[in-house]
């Protein structure tokens, strides 16, 4: 775990009018409960079964939040608050997109590592949250119908037919209906993909396999005393936590397989890890699309020293320890293959990929590593948008006193992309690591007079004005207790 130097008076947790101020990132996102839920089922780590276990656990978190959000949208319409209902429906649709990405995984896992010994089929329909979600969805649909029927009956009112026929995306009433329609479209898809999934349960039922009770606790404890976007913020971190821990186990074993010359096994493990990352990317994208600066500022103080940080699993194990180990092992392996240079070795494998099975295996191994890297880079890209939207530029500090939160995230990304072994293997492949130098559009967006730069300055100025106490903070360094994860 990571520790900060932030202290709480007399060891007691601090709080404000909204509720508790998180002592750490782990406390904020209930990582102890998530870890317990991950291990209580006693699924063998780094396997086909554990990957599916992670998918269903992440889906359970998303589904529990869909229940809560759907009920919130219904209440807003009951109170005749169309704007609030539409805002909530944006979150509902966002969580459906996370479910969509999770639903893509089981079929890919089955095709990559089919297990004839696994005969039990489970599905999301067995989740205790599904009955709640169906009930909440039916209630929302009824309330939407009543809302538009009453509007249509009023003099000059616009009912459902007129709204869907004449409305535009900028109209709240049309946006609400369109988000409901899009959500229905997605839920049919993810439900089908998360049903009839073959797993090995070892005598457990769905709830025991997924640890539904513990995951429900992790969601319920992540709420404040007022209606904010705090729980959505936490949930969209909890889903990546589950998926990153699972992906890390596969990457760890892949490095060991490369070292032992088990190339096809290493490739498969990297491919499994890569199937889990699109849902992580999607979770980050939903946060960027749905969380306004104002939404974030309402609960920003409750994040305490957890703001601006990530967990051991993501910050260190995935983005540093295993990242370095994987690319270092690949470089060592190809550099020691008897060719004059790394470039010559990689070129020999790539150009001779159809000549023998050995070259084909190594070619696919590199492709799997590059695919995994591209997805991590996509996550970094989406993660960068969070401080762009909610903190802004111009020296806006994070809650732990980092002088410029946005610049810090950019430098973390640049630091990872400067890894020597990563760059040497990319050059050997004839490509560039990271986003590259960019061109006319990058220069346009980065120019001082561009709208994007003006928005960054405006967001930063507003954030600094709202949180002057944060700007006065000294940098709160954090240390890492755990040793580096080296396969």
Q: Which two tokens stand for residue 62?
A: 């998303």
For the chain of 487 residues, list the mean pLDDT of each consecutive stretch of 10.
Answer: 41 79 89 95 93 98 98 98 98 98 96 84 94 97 97 92 95 97 97 93 91 96 92 96 97 97 97 98 96 93 78 89 97 92 96 96 97 96 88 79 78 89 95 84 93 93 88 69 88
pLDDT score recorded for residue 9: 42
pLDDT score recorded for residue 309: 67
CA distance 64 to 52: 18
The secondary structure element, H or E, covering residue 364 is helix 357-390
CA distances, 467 to each of 290, 336, 402, 444 (Å): 22, 54, 14, 31
Report the SS3 class of residue 104.
coil
Cβ(396)–Cβ(463) below 8 Å: yes
Cβ(382)–Cβ(288) below 8 Å: yes
Cβ(257)–Cβ(265) below 8 Å: yes
pLDDT score recorded for residue 7: 40
Phi, psi of 9 (to 5 degrees): -55, 130
Cβ(280)–Cβ(379) below 8 Å: yes
pLDDT score recorded for residue 308: 64
pLDDT score recorded for residue 395: 82
Q: Which of 369, 375, 132 is nearest to 254 (CA)?
A: 369
Beta carbons within 8 Å of 424's beta carbon, 6+ residues apart: 331, 342
Q: Following DSSP, what letter does each residue of 386-400 receive, concatenated?
A: HHHHHT-SSSPPPTT
pLDDT score recorded for residue 405: 76
pLDDT score recorded for residue 8: 43
Q: Which residues pair with 122 in a beta bridge?
A: 197
Greatest Cα pair distance in the chain: 84
Instruction: State the burial class of residue 481 (Cβ atoms within 10 Å of its Cβ: 0-12, 13-18, 19+).
Output: exposed
């Amino acid at each position: 775990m990571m520790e900060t130097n932030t202290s709480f008076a007399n060891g007691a947790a601090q709080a404000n009018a909204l509720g508790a101020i998180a002592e750490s990132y782990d406390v904020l996102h209930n990582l102890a409960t998530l870890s317990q839920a991950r291990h209580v089922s006693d699924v063998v780590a780094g396997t086909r079964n554990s990957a599916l276990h992670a998918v269903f656990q992440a889906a359970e978190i998303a589904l529990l939040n869909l229940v809560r959000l759907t009920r919130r949208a219904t209440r807003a319409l009951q109170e005749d608050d169309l704007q609030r209902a539409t805002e909530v429906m944006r979150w509902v649709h966002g969580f459906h997109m996370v479910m969509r990405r999770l639903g893509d995984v089981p079929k890919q896992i089955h095709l990559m590592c089919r297990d004839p010994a696994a005969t039990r089929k489970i599905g999301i329909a067995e989740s205790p949250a599904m009955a709640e979600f169906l009930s909440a969805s039916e209630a929302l649909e009824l309330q939407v119908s009543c809302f538009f029927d009453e509007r249509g009956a009023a003099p000059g009112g616009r009912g459902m037919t007129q709204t869907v026929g004449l409305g535009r995306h900028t109209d709240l009433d049309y946006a609400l209906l369109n988000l409901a329609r899009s959500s229905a479209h997605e839920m049919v898809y993810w439900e089908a993909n998360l049903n009839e999934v073959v797993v090995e349960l070892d005598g457990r039922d769905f709830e025991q396999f997924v640890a539904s009770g513990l995951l429900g606790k992790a969601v319920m404890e992540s709420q404040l005393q007022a209606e904010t976007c705090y729980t959505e913020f936490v949930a969209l971190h909890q889903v990546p936590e589950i998926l990153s821990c699972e992906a890390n186990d596969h990457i760890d074993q892949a490095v060991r397989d490369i070292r032992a010359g088990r190339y096809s096994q290493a490739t498969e493990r990297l491919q499994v890890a890569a199937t889990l990352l699109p849902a992580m990317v999607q979770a980050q994208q939903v946060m960027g699309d749905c969380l306004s600066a104002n939404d974030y500022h309402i609960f920003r103080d409750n994040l305490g020293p957890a703001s601006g940080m990530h967990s051991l699993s993501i910050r260190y194990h995935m983005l540093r320890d295993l990242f370095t180990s994987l690319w270092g092992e690949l470089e060592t392996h190809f550099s020691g293959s008897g060719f004059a240079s790394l470039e010559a070795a990689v070129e020999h494998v790539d150009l001779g990929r159809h000549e023998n099975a050995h070259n084909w295996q190594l070619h696919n191994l590199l492709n799997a590593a590059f695919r995994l890297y591209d997805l991590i880079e996509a996550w970094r890209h989406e993660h960068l948008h969070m401080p762009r939207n909610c903190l802004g530029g111009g020296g806006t500090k994070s809650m732990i006193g980092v002088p410029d939160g946005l610049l810090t995230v950019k430098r973390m990304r640049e630091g990872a992309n400067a890894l020597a072994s990563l760059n040497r293997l990319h050059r050997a492949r004839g490509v560039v690591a990271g986003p590259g130098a960019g061109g006319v559009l990058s220069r346009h967006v980065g120019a001082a007079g561009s709208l994007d730069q003006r928005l960054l300055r405006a967001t930063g100025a507003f954030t600094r004005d709202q949180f002057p106490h944060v700007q006065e903070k000294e940098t709160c360094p954090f240390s890492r207790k755990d040793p580096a994860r080296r396969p």
